[in-house]
Amino acid sequence: MRLNQTILKEMIREALNELEAQKSTQDPTKLATTGTTAGQFRSAGIETAKTAQQAKGQVDKIELTYIKQIQNFLMSKARQTDLKKHKVSIQTLIQRLDKIIEPDVPEQGEQQ
């Protein structure tokens, strides 16, 4: 296969997208740049429900309500506008929340 400029640019874009996706999975405060299909979103919802069921005692009903309200809010906004236009603001908000909401207990491996 002969590489032309267009194919090379596309290969570079794909590699950069993969790197960005890897970074976003490593840092939960980073928004991913790759898309999610409706089926993937549905499967993630099922996994979230399973995780919530397993977290009984760790995550209470009120916290689950907060999470659901945030999800519903974002879905509503996504229907009204293009959230990609607000990526920087959403990213900043997630990072601020991460700093504001400190864990109550040290994570595994951390000293008390």
Does any domain span residue 30?
A: no
Count of residues for the chain?
112
Q: What is the pLDDT of residue 37?
A: 85
What's the structural domain count of the chain? 1
Residue 27 lies in a domain: no
Name the pLDDT band for 53 (thresholds 50, 70, 90). confident
Lowest mean pLDDT among 30-44, 57-71, 96-110: 96-110
Is 71 a member of any domain? yes
- Is the pTM of the predicted complex or chain greater than 0.85? no
Q: Residue 64 is part of which domain span?
A: 38-100
Task: Tell whether 110 is covered by a domain.
Answer: no
Q: How confident is the model at residue 75 (pLDDT cuts 50, 70, 90)?
A: very high
Q: Buried b vs exposed e over 43-74: b needs ≥16 C-beta within 10 Å?
A: eeeeeeeeebeeeeeeeeeeeeeeeeeeeeee
